[in-house]
Amino acid sequence: MIKRIRIAIDHGNRNIKTVHTVFTTGISESDMSPGRGIDYLEYNGKFYVPSNRRILYQREKTADQRFFLLTLLGIAKELELNPNIEKGDLI
């Protein structure tokens, strides 16, 4: 069943904030899957892991894809915490 959900994300220069999470605007890229128990995002054949080393101040956050990847990570974190989303709702 298709469900509608709104996910608010605040793209700060120090933190990404959603309704239920706050995490640093740092992200590292790897070709290999991270170890078990580590949060990561798989996108276009790469693995992205949140990092505590924040991105330096950027006035224009669309200059590269890092803030886009952080947005996807924020969406994933919110969907994981949403009790209305069941296994199989997302592909």
Identify the bridge partners of residue 42 per DSSP, sorted by sequence position. Answer: 47
What is residue 1's predicted lDDT score, i.e. its pLDDT? Answer: 55
The pLDDT assigned to 2 comes to: 59
- Tell which phi-psi region holds residue 46, choosing left (phi > 0), alpha (psi between -120 and 50) or beta: beta
Q: Which two tokens stand for residue 29?
A: 């890229």
pLDDT of residue 83: 78
Half-sphere exposure of 89 (CA within 13 A, CB side): 14
The β-bridge partners of 39 are none
Taking residue 13's Cβ as centre, other Cβ atoms within 10 Å add up to: 13
Provide block-wise average pLDDT over 10 residues at a time, the chain (91 residues).
80 91 93 88 93 88 90 90 75 58
